[in-house]
């Protein structure tokens, strides 16, 4: 080779076949992406505390039939609206003389179920729509995403109430309505994440290796999009809890005498002059769960922002 000596060719003499010192670095044990995320999440005290609260409330909800101090359905006309700190009713009693603590514990079941289920279903449906639109692109994308745009023309509270108002009251209808609210939101995020991934060179490289579109979707795309979509979905649980209880509060969700926080808040509205602290309790429960999910989701998102 007669090339003139340049900076590049000076260093070229002698074939280098093993990683040379310039590139060598301290050995780091490989943890993988989720390993890193978990490691960072554990060190976030706020997220951990929020996670602990969520786990505690889930545990109470599951175990409530066995651990409630009193029968949550049995009231006493003589002992209505006892204050907080009562010897029998630790957290007071409601307008029908039922134990608040027991009702709040059992109420966690329906409240959590109605808040979390729509997000889970919407996560599955919305991800599928968004990933399909993002990965296939073209006309499929245009049609799907323009349809999604229509749902964004409704503020989410309005859409939820309009749908359950039209469908009628009931747990099932409330869950269907809330799912319809969250599917477009998750689909939009899924689409933008997938579109971003689809343009990456490693997807091109996978195409060049002769893999079918389905294989690329399964092996190369899915693992990279599910994480961000999931984090977004967890941030919706907080809104979903508020909306689900809000529907029951309006009388569109759970029906009495089932204990559910939103419904309890509504029936206790009449008691605000008699025993305001007890009347506010169910709302406080919704607030604690909602803020815990929000803080945990924030922590999860921060932990996933690993700069590479």
Name residues contacting other proteins, limited to 203-242 (CB under 8 A): 204-212, 215, 219-220, 223-224, 238-239, 242
Kindly state the smallest distance separating residue 149's Cβ from other proteins, in Å: 5
Task: Print the SS3 string covering the chain.
Answer: CCCCCCHHHHCCCCCCCCCCCCCCCCCCCCCHHHHHHHHHHHCCHHHHHHHHHHHHHHHHHHHHHHHCCCCCCCCCHHHCCCCCCCCCCCCCECCCCCEHHHHHHHHHHHHHHHHHHHHHHHHHHHHHHHHHHHHHCHHHHHHHHHHHHHHCCCCHHHHHHHHHHHHCCCHHHHHHHHHHHHHHHHHHHHHHHHHHHHCCHHHHHHHHCCCCHHHHHHHHHHHHHHHHHHHHHHHHHHHHHHHHHHHHHHCCCCCCCCCCHHHHHHHHHHHCCCCHHHHHHHHHHHHHHHHHHHHHHHHHHHHHCCCC
Q: Which residues, numbered 179-208, are part of the site for other proteins (CB under 8 A)?
A: 200-202, 204-208
- Total number of residues that touch other proteins (CB under 8 A): 90
Binding flag, residue 67, other proteins (CB under 8 A): no
Binding flag, residue 306, other proteins (CB under 8 A): yes
Q: Which residues, numbered 14-43, are part of the site for other proteins (CB under 8 A)?
A: 14-20, 22-23, 25, 27-28, 30, 32-33
- In this complex, which beta carbon is closest to other proteins, that of residue 93 or of residue 290? 290
Using CB under 8 A, pick the residue from 73, 113, 230, 287 that binds other proteins: 287
Backbone angles phi, psi at 47, to 5 degrees: -65, -40
Kindly state the smallest distance separating residue 284's Cβ from other proteins, in Å: 7
- In this complex, which beta carbon is closest to other proteins, that of residue 106 or of residue 264? 264
Q: Which residues, numbered 135-174, are part of the site for other proteins (CB under 8 A)?
A: 146-147, 149-151, 153-158, 161-163, 165-168
- In this complex, which beta carbon is closest to other proteins, that of residue 27 or of residue 66? 27
Q: Which residues, numbered 47-66, are part of the site for other proteins (CB under 8 A)?
A: none
Using CB under 8 A, pick the residue from 75, 251, 267, 304 that binds other proteins: 251
Q: Which residues, numbered 255-284, are part of the site for other proteins (CB under 8 A)?
A: 262, 265, 269, 272-273, 276, 279-280, 282-284
Q: Which residues, numbered 102-131, are part of the site for other proteins (CB under 8 A)?
A: none
């Amino acid at each position: 080779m007669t090339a003139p000596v340049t900076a590049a060719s000076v260093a070229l003499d002698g074939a280098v076949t093993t990683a040379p010192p310039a590139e060598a670095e301290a050995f780091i044990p490989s943890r993988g992406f989720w390993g890193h995320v978990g490691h960072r999440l554990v060190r976030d005290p706020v997220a951990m505390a929020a996670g602990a609260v969520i786990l505690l409330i889930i545990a109470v909800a599951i175990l409530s039939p066995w651990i409630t101090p009193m029968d949550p359905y049995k009231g006493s006309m003589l002992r209505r609206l006892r204050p907080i700190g009562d010897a029998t009713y630790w957290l007071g009693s409601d307008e029908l003389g039922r134990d608040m603590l027991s009702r709040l514990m059992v109420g966690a079941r329906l409240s959590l179920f109605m808040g979390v289920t729509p997000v889970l279903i919407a996560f599955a449906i919305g991800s599928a729509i968004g990933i399909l639109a993002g990965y296939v692109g073209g006309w499929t994308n245009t049609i799907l995403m323009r349809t999604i745009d229509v749902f964004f023309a409704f503020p989410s509270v309005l859409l939820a109430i309009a749908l359950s108002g039209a469908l009628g009251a009931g747990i099932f209808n409330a869950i269907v309505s809330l799912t319809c609210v969250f599917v477009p939101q998750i689909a939009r995020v899924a689409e933008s994440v997938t579109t971003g991934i689809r343009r990456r060179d490693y997807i091109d490289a996978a195409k060049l290796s002769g893999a079918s579109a389905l294989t690329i979707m399964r092996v190369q795309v899915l693992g990279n999009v599910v994480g961000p979509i999931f984090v977004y979905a967890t941030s919706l649980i907080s809104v979903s809890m508020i909306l689900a209880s809000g529907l029951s509060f309006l009388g569109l969700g759970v029906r009495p005498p089932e204990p559910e926080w939103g419904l309890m808040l509504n029936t206790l509205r009449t008691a605000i002059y008699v025993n305001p602290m007890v009347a506010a309790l169910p709302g406080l429960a919704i607030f604690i769960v909602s803020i815990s999910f929000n803080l945990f989701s924030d922590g999860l998102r921060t932990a996933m922002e690993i700069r590479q």
